[in-house]
Amino acid sequence: MENVLPISSMSDFNQVARMSETLSGYTEKHISEDGMIKEDYIETEYFFKNDRWQASFFSDIPQFNGTITHIQKAIHFDFLQPLLNLEAKYIVYNKIFSGEWSINNVVANQDVELRRVREFLQAKYPQLISFLELSVEQVSVEWIKWLDNGVRKTIAVPSEQAKLAKGAKYPHKTQLVLFLPNICRWLRTYLDERDEWDEWEKDCWDVRKLTAYGIHYNKTALCYYMHFEVIRNKEARECTKAYLKRRLMGDGFAWNTAKCISTICRPFSIWLLIWSHHGKISVIWKDGILIVISNGLTSILQTVRKIITPIQNSIKTGH
């Protein structure tokens, strides 16, 4: 097949150009003994041209040096459609250089997950050109059915050891189940072209675009993003964003503190869905306020109040 990227509109052209430009180099970070950071941009065609990214290539980049144990492994991009391959590279590149994914995890886990996604798309969407064409809701259902058909487990049951070590008590969806829907969400997030003054409206915040508001962050750390996409309920998501924005703007929270709160809110929202599904609680959103009715479980209601009350009070009072 000829390696030609399909471009049907100016929007497609801009997105392809943006992804191609991103993959045309990377930033090296050199941290001196006194904590000063020096950044050097290195131009390279390695990421754009190669469909195998060797872990050993990253070992020569200062911020990854000494962190890679799977040095002989590689990340594979084997999608038949060139644009799908480019989009997959763009996502993995952003995840790696933002510090959200380690090289060890990518070559051991995400590489396998990408292969499963390719197999699924070849079976169910052989004519698909771009991940942006997929409906997240529809493909999520089809993806789970395909995995359940003898491909991979979709539900993980915590072992007794996991229950003790991590507090994991209930069966939950595997990371593979979430991977394809997340690919679609991540790509839309990364290609969001709204300027920095609209950063608060996005479902993924990049702290580097919030410095105009006086928000500071540790430049030696690689984790620039705060994700809200996985909070499925829109009102819950907007409520959480409004609370964290006010605290960040009002000097109440540092960026790392807000990130910690956001990571708590994500499993908390899932926890609410699980308990409501099992009839333990009733969850109602009214005018941006969460109303939780406990069906005879006082301890659950107390836990909900402890977590959600500060957030709702902050939104009501503006503090």
pLDDT the model gives residue 287: 47
CA distance 261 to 240: 9
Write out pLDDT tens, residues 125-174.
999 999 999 988 899 889 989 988 876 666 655 554 544 444 445 445 67
All residues at 6 or more sequence positions from 126 whose CB lies less than 8 Å from its CB, including other chains? none
Write down the H helix ranges in the chain: 10-22, 46-49, 55-58, 82-97, 103-105, 111-124, 136-148, 160-166, 175-190, 234-249, 255-277, 298-317
pLDDT the model gives residue 264: 64
CA distance 204 to 206: 7
pLDDT the model gives residue 207: 84
Which residues on adjacent β-strands are paired with residue 291?
Answer: 284
Write out pLDDT tens, residues 203-213.
888 888 887 77
CA distance 9 to 73: 38
Under DSSP, is residue 67 helix (H, G, I), strand (E, B) or coil? coil
Q: Any idea what DSSP says for residue 200?
A: G
Per the model's pLDDT, the better-predicted residue between 134 and 248 turns out to be: 134
Question: Contact at 8 Å (CB) between 113 and 119?
Answer: no
All residues at 6 or more sequence positions from 275 whose CB lies less than 8 Å from its CB, including other chains? 281, 300
Q: Provide the sign of the torsion angle of the four alpha carbons 262, 268, 273, 276, taken in this order.
A: negative
Per the prediction, the chain carries an average pLDDT of 76
Write out pLDDT tens, residues 58-69.
999 998 988 899
Residues 102-117, mean pLDDT to the nearest whole number: 94
Write out pLDDT tens, residues 164-184.
444 445 445 677 888 999 999
Position 313 pLDDT exceeds 80: no
Q: Where are the domains of the chain?
A: 10-184, 196-317
Under DSSP, is residue 139 helix (H, G, I), strand (E, B) or coil? helix
* pTM for this entry: 0.64
Position 190 pLDDT exceeds 80: yes
Position 318 pLDDT exceeds 50: no
Position 50 pLDDT exceeds 60: yes
